[in-house]
Amino acid sequence: MTKPLRLGIAGLGTVGTGVVKIVRRHADLLTARTGRKIEITAVSARDRAKDRGVSLRGYGWEDDPVALATRDDVDIFVELMGGPDGPAKAATEAAIAAGKDVVTANKAMLAMHGQALAELAENAGQSIRYEAAVAGGIPVIKALTEGLAGNEITRVMGVMNGTCNYILTRMESSGLPYDDVFREADALGYLEADPNLDVGGIDAGHKLALLSSIAFGTRPDFAGIEIEGIQRVTIDDIRQAADMGYRIKLLGVAQRTARGLEQRMQPCLVPADSPLGQLEGGTNMVVIEGDSIEQVVLRGPGAGEGPTASAVMGDVCDLARGLRLPVFGQPADSLDAAPSAIAGLPAPYYLRMALQDKPGALAKIAAILGDAGVSIDRMRQYGHSESAAPVLIVTHKTTRAALDKALEAMQSTDVMASTPVALRIETV
Ligand SMILES: NC(=O)c1ccc[n+]([C@@H]2O[C@H](COP(=O)([O-])OP(=O)(O)OC[C@H]3O[C@@H](n4cnc5c(N)ncnc54)[C@H](OP(=O)(O)O)[C@@H]3O)[C@@H](O)[C@H]2O)c1
């Protein structure tokens, strides 16, 4: 048998301890599958004394992750600390320079520095693997890079933040407003230390940047993603959408258009009977469309100890078997710096607004939409208070630019009682 593959694991939190458990529990299985013994030689975390619920006996310890990454008895540096910069990036760079392969779950680091790190690794003849960074336990990187490599990918979509999907589906099932469900999610420990990473769409945006790079052969471009979080979604929107046969999801969409790469992470309406519409709670879903496969739907746990550690170990096993692939599916120096096209493709939109209760208000709004070239598919008034009349409009396909023009014109009239909410209706 070939010599053992030796791991150095930096970060012993949720994911790191999960990886230690799998290596210990499945030692024989991993050897049978890869033909090599997979062992942990050393680990690193901040607090050496912390009880992590798993035995670390027999492993070396390093306070400094860079020291761990460069040890002679480490073949693969497993980075599970997190953070776009700081020790994670420093140790990843040090590992590559020292001739090690890297396995990481760190979407923030790769979304921000993926291009530079991929070039560094490929020039040095090393691999960076990151299955766990996107949609947790779902093997989506592998599906895109390997299984679907014969397709021209036309669109990638995903619900990739379980916390947001939990909040949106819980709002719908409980009838509770956003703030109450946000507090519930916080009490359950579902939110990141900085909740804006979740509800602001940033975490899911990091994942989308990595998927679209592989799908379209472009440099990872997090800054080029149009991001909007779920904070402005109201229970009223959820109810009205449901009434029309839709559900609201924080949906990431990437596709190539004639004007460049369109990448969006924003709350969208999707048909309630579609796979995306039926997704409940913290589960993730990625939908990949290609010229030969039409559509592949992958669904599974997007986070948590077991699923994320499973993805890390999938990468470790690939390296143990000798599988070496470019970081983003094709050599990093051949990736295209595609311009970003913000919401270039037309779509129908859902508009909700409250109008002053005065004669001609609705006609004024309809005229503004018409002047901007936005045609109305459906319109209805619902509920009614003393002074305001809530109105719901579904448009035919229109560009975001035309819609924005209309929304701006509406604001300068004397009939608006609230700022209009506009949500894209995604064809899925
Ligand atoms: N949790 C998930 O479900 C999930 C899913 C997908 C991807 N990820 C990604 O996986 C990575 C790890 O996430 P996690 O949830 O496991 O995080 P976590 O529970 O907060 O654990 C982070 C670990 O890193 C260690 N650490 C932090 N700074 C360090 C430093 N300067 N030197 C050495 N060790 C340091 C911490 O040490 P101490 O324990 O001593 O404080 C801790 O063990 C992140 O990139 C995250 O985005 C997580």
SS3 247: strand
pLDDT digits (tens, 9 = 90+) for 46-98: 999 999 999 999 999 999 999 999 999 999 999 999 999 999 999 999 999 99
- Alpha-carbon distance of 356 to 386, in angstroms, equals 10
Substitution site in 59, 81, 141 for ligand 1 pocket (most atoms within 8 Å of beta carbon): 81
Give the number of other Cβ atoms within 10 Å of residue 238's Cβ: 22
Closest ligand 1 atom to Cα of 46: 40
The reply to whether 343 falls in a domain is no
- Tell me, yes or no, whether 316 lies in a domain: no
Question: pLDDT tens, 220-272?
Answer: 999 999 999 999 999 999 999 999 999 999 999 999 988 889 999 999 999 99
Put simply, whether the predicted model's pTM sits higher than 0.85 gets the answer yes
List the CATH number of the domain containing 146: 3.30.360.10
Does residue 52 belong to any structural domain of this protein? yes
Residues of the domain holding 418: 349-425
| Number of folded domains that form the chain | 3
> Terminal CA-to-CA distance of the chain, rounded, Å?
49
Residues 294 and 193 in one domain: yes
pLDDT tens-digit series, residues 194-228: 999 999 999 999 999 999 999 999 999 999 999 99
What is the distance between the alpha carbons of residues 266 and 278, in angstroms, rounded to a whole number? 18
* Shortest-distance Cα residue to atom 18 of ligand 1: 13
Measured in angstroms, how far is the CA atom of residue 14 from the centroid of ligand 1? 7
State the pLDDT at residue 315: 98
Q: CATH number of the domain that 20 lies in?
A: 3.40.50.720
For residue 306, tell me if it sits in a domain.
Answer: no
Q: Give tens-digit pLDDT for 329-358.
A: 999 999 999 888 876 689 999 999 999 988
pLDDT(382) > 90: no
Q: Please say if the pLDDT value at position 385 is more than 80.
A: no
Q: Is the pLDDT of residue 363 over 70?
A: yes
pLDDT grade for 1, boundaries at 50, 70 and 90? low
**Residue 276 included in any domain:** yes
Residues flanking ligand 1, CB < 6 Å: 10-16, 44-47, 50, 65, 80-82, 87, 105-107, 132-133, 136, 303-304, 308
Last residue of a domain, one of 267, 301, 335: 301
Q: Is 264 exposed, middle or buried (0-12, 13-18, 19+ CB in 10 A)?
A: buried
Amino acid at 131: E
Please choose, from the candidates 332, 322, 310, 306, the residue with its C-alpha nearest in 3D space to the C-alpha of residue 75. 322
Count other C-beta atoms under 10 Å from residue 271's C-beta. 17
Q: Which of 181, 233, 264, 201 is nearest to 421 (CA)?
A: 233
